């Protein structure tokens, strides 16, 4: 069962007023961790302090492990689609 979680991200403005670009760390098909890009609605992100570029992205954790976690993003990423593997250290619990 998927449980709502938050993923650490870097935020920047999107093309439209109600959109932001979130960059998260995720594992690629080559099994290396790198940055992927997700264009999402502003209502699924929270910035750490007002105008900060650091924040969190709402997602759903389907499996949480010691090193990596499987998550479903609110929108498909450009590089990996909607279901991705992220380092567990990037998942904000609580």
pLDDT band for 80, please (50, 70, 90 cuts).
Answer: confident
Entry pTM: 0.88
Give the pLDDT score at 52: 65
Neighbours of 46 (CB within 10 A): 15
pLDDT band for 78, please (50, 70, 90 cuts).
Answer: confident
Q: How many residues does the chain have?
A: 94
Give the pLDDT score at 19: 94
Alpha carbons 30 and 28: distance in angstroms, whole number: 5
Give the pLDDT score at 28: 83
Q: State CA 28 to chain mean position distance.
A: 14
pLDDT band for 82, please (50, 70, 90 cuts).
Answer: very high
């Amino acid at each position: 069962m998927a449980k709502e979680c938050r993923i650490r991200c870097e935020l920047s403005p999107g093309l439209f007023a109600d959109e932001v670009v979130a960059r998260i760390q995720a594992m690629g098909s080559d099994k290396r961790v790198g940055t992927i890009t997700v264009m999402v609605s502003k209502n699924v992100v929270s910035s750490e302090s007002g105008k900060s570029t650091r924040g969190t992205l709402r997602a759903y954790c389907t499996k949480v492990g010691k090193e990596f976690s499987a998550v479903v993003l609110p929108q498909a990423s450009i590089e990996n689609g909607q279901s991705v593997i992220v380092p567990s250290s990037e998942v904000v619990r609580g």
